[in-house]
Chain A
């Protein structure tokens, strides 16, 4: 446990440069500055490592980096996504608080690989403590001559800045995030063109999640194979899982990919006295909910969770015990997407409100028999038809909640109250 991003978490002063360097930090970066590590080699190691994007979509990081037209003239950018807004997700916050230098080093390496001399770390506006820690770390890094213009006469320039969000989940979507850095509303752009070609300020840009960047230095220090071996095939390395909800010891756990869910549940202290596991949302609110039975059979890696009928997403494991009213839980999620839709594209703007209102009506005791089919049809009309994945994210829970817990919804509609006596 806690081998990569969290390796210093239990040390004194985990976020300091000294702690980071004592555990081998900036070794890779210094090697690069000395001209001892080529871009091609780095890309190879990353590909070997099997590192997949930790922001939710799980796109192989090495491959993404290789898409950048790095030899194209002109400005290019590296952007870190620390917007962390997906309900149930709170791992990047801890990386920023406890291991900010790994993010800095990861971004600097990315800048070197893709010949981007400027980076921005987009931190959600509410994360003020992490922001201060990150800024502190930035100052240390600049102070130690690890960032800046022509660092140590290496001809390598990398300047890194923080951009703060201001409260919009959609800015976690990478192109909305770019718009936001440009000082605009966070409205996703249609793709293609992809950011690698037309990104920040119209320039080639690579965006990765905080955890993805923070994993890079160790991968390069210890080798891609080392990392890959931590996990299972197609899910290299270890990964942070935020276990929240009805568990005794909710926390972030950095565990090898492929760890059985039941082990993770145990690490989190298991369920409370006398409660039974009812459902699990394994990857953050946007991923389909799983009934206990399916969840207990899965392992924490991409393929296994996929097989179980959901997605690993950002690794945000929301545990619900038998006191949970699924109608209420879904209504709450529906409200979230309704609240957070950016509003530009029709199906999401209109559909999320529609879904929320129908659910709210059911909660208010005015449900109708046709409502469940209506909900299923509305979510079906959103899925796949929107500009960004928020639409899908809003739709998928609806389908899975109703599919797995239809009886509970029908009971609510019929009786105007929950089947579950009282939720936690």
Chain B
């Protein structure tokens, strides 16, 4: 790429040779109308709206497909360019409905905008407009294909970004119809971006339909909190309600895209199951209470059961804000307790942060090899997976050590199926292979390890790469060997000079790490939930999804001598079962807060709307509880002060080396993965997400041989989940992927 000079409309501008003229013009603020061009998609040059006059060229040329070369002289607004643009505009409008006032895209339609500027007033077309029958393409995207202008952005988005070809153009000529195959609909986890790329009202948000007009809404900058990326979004609100979520550009975080989970979860805010008023349990009867009464009730309960704090414990979900995590941590420690944790769904919370990430989101695009360990990356972290996909498009290869072969949107060239109980052994083999090939000294614990060819292959992949990354995913959390596994991943990365990416700590877990929301000497989540502690604060916990062993957790917390204060946004029967007080708190978008993403970037956001009913932002509730408990140091006026204090903490970085000793090895084990649209209470209450295929994931996959051992046949229920016998799963385990509550 060399810097060159060209002239646009008489203005001398700079660009790179080989860069498209339209992108130079965009950078220079020179307006060229366009529909098919999208900066993140391949060029198709089919709409012809961007035709401009290039000196020396008899025909007008598309600015999007014309590459700049030194000395070029372009005219974007002379008579020739204008005539071409007007002609195209007229053709686009002859078959387009002119009923903008009733169109869902009205007010934010690229066609409408451009037509105002480039269209002619009278249409001389009176041959009858084309009408296109619509079909149902799923719960998220509404179609109104009569409005389609065939720009193919949605098709290209699917093929190039989402990585599955679902949309296509059938028929030809005037009958060209943009649609997915038959009734298969659009299933990608990134599908909602098609709505954003569609320049007209052909693809619009289904949940948003008919809600309000776009210009009636306020757009508020916010951050999506369902994953480790913290995608930048706008929440669009009307009369105090979030009506829509759209992507906000941030190249280093989410580029221009967001996942469907981030886009459609807001629907859960309007659920009927919201906690709207405080409730207290008196004589085993629940009744509503005023905030004052409920807070007093809670504080008395805690005080009565606690003289020195040693019997107090606090658990939080990993979706809490940095501020909430910080304050609850401070409260707990202020109580004199060190029993606190955010890892209530871990089989072995001992490990957790052994593995730190060493590579940024943007850098992921430049890797040449990725080794994925224990992750269905595409559904766990769609936007991170997207970066890996981009790397593969640039030639990177990917291998995996997983318990199942997952549907991926790139090729996984080397997939080593490994049951959880064998993961430690496999990784040991890989480490030994890496050290062997690098002729490095081996630690004693590898002495008895046998290196198999498959281990060598994985090691070779890593060693042959110049810029590899090892990714550790969610599945490790349910593995009793998680500390050893994390340690080995770290060792393998070190020995092969690969980067690391730990996506096992999702959502806002890194904020929890930042504020030290885990015990130093006290009890961890598992211990808290199995202990004889007698007063608890449970922040945003829904035990059936959030606890490793829900049944025993609920049972223990329901002890008559246990006093449980729960803070929740959504009603939950299990919570009611063990709690003594339920304090309603704000959900996503209803509170200000901070998300710490995988790049360790703290992204703060303000509340987009007021919290539902009488519920209050969690950080305020914790602050008041602390005040009432007479704990010092809670004199905060706003959440920014809390965030400042939280971020000034220096989290302890020293992590003890984990011992590589396998725990008891069960013959057959289970991997339990929560389906992506069930990972937190908000998404679980988003009806449109629940209706999608991904929302309906509910399958216990098992190999033929293992099924036989377990006496399972197709369609049987395994822990309540229908069994599917297939050969994608490692022998010796059942892979459960489900929207259902967890069963240990």
Considering only residues 168-191 of chain A, those with a C-beta below 8 Å from chain B are 168, 170, 185, 190
A346-B173 contact given A361-B127, A385-B48, CB 8 Å threshold: no
Tell me the count of chain A residues lying within 8 A, CB to CB, of chain B. 34
Complex contact A190–B174 (CB within 8 A): no
Complex contact B58–A384 (CB within 8 A): yes
Residues in B whose Cβ lies below 8 Å from that of A370: 124
Complex contact B59–A384 (CB within 8 A): yes
Interface size class of B (residues with CB under 8 A): 35 or more
Q: Kindly specify which of A195-203, A297-305, A348-356 makes contact with the partner chain.
A: A348-356
Q: Kindly specify which of A57-65, A149-157, A333-341, A414-422 makes contact with the partner chain.
A: A333-341
Complex contact B169–A346 (CB within 8 A): no
What sequence of 0s and 1s flags, for each residue 91-128 of chain B, a beta carbon within 8 Å of any chain A beta carbon?
A: 11011000000000000000000000000000011011
Chain B interface helix/strand/loop/mixed: loop
Q: Kindly specify which of B21-29, B82-90, B193-201, B448-456 makes contact with the partner chain.
A: B82-90
A343-B169 contact given A350-B174, A358-B127, CB 8 Å threshold: yes
Residues in A whose Cβ lies below 8 Å from that of B49: 346
Residues in A whose Cβ lies below 8 Å from that of B46: 344-346, 387
What sequence of 0s and 1s flags, for each residue 58-72 of chain B, a beta carbon within 8 Å of any chain A beta carbon?
A: 111010010100000
Residues in B whose Cβ lies below 8 Å from that of A352: 173-174
A350-B95 contact given A344-B150, A374-B124, A385-B87, CB 8 Å threshold: yes
CA distance A168 to B91 in the complex (A): 23
CA distance A374 to B62 in the complex (A): 25
Of B44, B48, B90, B169, the residue contacting A386 (CB under 8 A) is B48
Residues in A whose Cβ lies below 8 Å from that of B44: 190, 344
CA distance A168 to B65 in the complex (A): 26
Of B60, B92, B149, B173, the residue contacting A385 (CB under 8 A) is B60
Complex contact B91–A185 (CB within 8 A): no
Most buried by B among A352, A370, A377, A387: A387
Does A114 touch B at the CB level, under 8 Å?
no
Does B335 touch A at the CB level, under 8 Å?
no
What sequence of 0s and 1s flags, for each residue 143-158 of chain B, a beta carbon within 8 Å of any chain A beta carbon?
A: 0000001101000000
Does A342 touch B at the CB level, under 8 Å?
yes
Complex contact A343–B150 (CB within 8 A): yes
Complex contact B173–A340 (CB within 8 A): yes
CA distance A80 to B43 in the complex (A): 27
Does A347 touch B at the CB level, under 8 Å?
yes
CA distance A350 to B172 in the complex (A): 12
Does A357 touch B at the CB level, under 8 Å?
yes
Residues in B whose Cβ lies below 8 Å from that of A190: 43-45, 62, 65
A385 CB to closest chain B CB, in angstroms? 5
A349-B176 contact given A344-B150, A381-B91, A385-B84, CB 8 Å threshold: yes
- The residue on A at minimum CB distance from B127 is A357
Complex contact B88–A385 (CB within 8 A): yes
Most buried by A among B51, B92, B149, B173: B173
Does B10 touch A at the CB level, under 8 Å?
no
CA distance A339 to B51 in the complex (A): 25
Complex contact B47–A343 (CB within 8 A): no
CA distance A168 to B59 in the complex (A): 26
Most buried by B among A346, A352, A381, A382: A346
Residues in B whose Cβ lies below 8 Å from that of A338: 173-174
What sequence of 0s and 1s flags, for each residue 375-401 of chain A, a beta carbon within 8 Å of any chain B beta carbon?
A: 001001110111100000000000000
A195 CB to closest chain B CB, in angstroms? 15
Complex contact A342–B172 (CB within 8 A): yes
- The residue on B at minimum CB distance from A348 is B173
- The residue on B at minimum CB distance from A170 is B172
Considering only residues 626-653 of chain B, those with a C-beta below 8 Å from chain A are none
CA distance A338 to B175 in the complex (A): 10
Does B171 touch A at the CB level, under 8 Å?
yes
Complex contact A185–B172 (CB within 8 A): yes
Complex contact B92–A350 (CB within 8 A): yes
Residues in A whose Cβ lies below 8 Å from that of B51: 385
A361 CB to closest chain B CB, in angstroms? 7
Residues in B whose Cβ lies below 8 Å from that of A346: 46-49, 88, 91-92, 149-150
Residues in A whose Cβ lies below 8 Å from that of B58: 384
Complex contact B91–A344 (CB within 8 A): no
Residues in B whose Cβ lies below 8 Å from that of A351: 91
Complex contact A341–B172 (CB within 8 A): yes
- The residue on A at minimum CB distance from B93 is A350
Residues in B whose Cβ lies below 8 Å from that of A343: 150, 169, 171-176
Residues in B whose Cβ lies below 8 Å from that of A385: 48, 51, 59-60, 84, 87-88
Complex contact B47–A345 (CB within 8 A): yes
Considering only residues 162-195 of chain B, those with a C-beta below 8 Å from chain A are 169, 171-176
CA distance A352 to B176 in the complex (A): 13
CA distance A361 to B126 in the complex (A): 11
CA distance A321 to B562 in the complex (A): 104
CA distance A344 to B46 in the complex (A): 6
Residues in B whose Cβ lies below 8 Å from that of A353: 127, 173-174
Complex contact A349–B173 (CB within 8 A): yes
CA distance A361 to B173 in the complex (A): 20
Residues in B whose Cβ lies below 8 Å from that of A384: 58-60, 84
A194 CB to closest chain B CB, in angstroms? 13
Residues in A whose Cβ lies below 8 Å from that of B175: 343
CA distance A344 to B150 in the complex (A): 7
Residues in A whose Cβ lies below 8 Å from that of B169: 185, 343-344
CA distance A351 to B174 in the complex (A): 9
CA distance A119 to B149 in the complex (A): 37
Complex contact B176–A344 (CB within 8 A): yes
Complex contact B45–A354 (CB within 8 A): no
CA distance A384 to B152 in the complex (A): 22
- The residue on B at minimum CB distance from A340 is B173
Complex contact A347–B127 (CB within 8 A): no
Residues in A whose Cβ lies below 8 Å from that of B45: 190, 345, 387
- The residue on A at minimum CB distance from B51 is A385
Complex contact B62–A347 (CB within 8 A): no
CA distance A349 to B90 in the complex (A): 12
- The residue on A at minimum CB distance from B43 is A190
CA distance A346 to B33 in the complex (A): 14
B139 CB to closest chain A CB, in angstroms? 29
CA distance A384 to B88 in the complex (A): 11
CA distance A231 to B51 in the complex (A): 40
- The residue on A at minimum CB distance from B80 is A384
Complex contact A347–B65 (CB within 8 A): no
CA distance A168 to B175 in the complex (A): 14
CA distance A385 to B47 in the complex (A): 10
Residues in A whose Cβ lies below 8 Å from that of B90: 381
B121 CB to closest chain A CB, in angstroms? 15
Residues in B whose Cβ lies below 8 Å from that of A170: 172
Residues in B whose Cβ lies below 8 Å from that of A354: 91, 94, 125, 127
B224 CB to closest chain A CB, in angstroms? 35
CA distance A344 to B151 in the complex (A): 8
Residues in A whose Cβ lies below 8 Å from that of B174: 338, 341, 343, 349-350, 352-353
A423 CB to closest chain B CB, in angstroms? 25
CA distance A192 to B20 in the complex (A): 12
Complex contact A347–B87 (CB within 8 A): yes
CA distance A347 to B49 in the complex (A): 10
In the complex, 6 of the A-B residue pairs with CB atoms within 8 angstroms, ordered by the A residue number, are A190-B44, A342-B173, A343-B171, A343-B172, A357-B127, A358-B127
Which A residues fall within an 8 A CB radius of B? 168, 170, 185, 190, 192, 338-347, 349-354, 357-358, 361, 370, 374, 377, 380-382, 384-387
- Apart from the given pairs A185-B172, A357-B128, A380-B87, 8 other A-B contacts in the complex at a CB distance below 8 Å: A192-B67, A341-B173, A342-B172, A342-B176, A347-B48, A357-B127, A381-B90, A384-B60
Query: Which 8 A-B residue pairs are closest in the complex by CB-CB distance?
Result: A343-B176, A381-B87, A350-B91, A341-B173, A357-B127, A384-B59, A190-B45, A343-B173
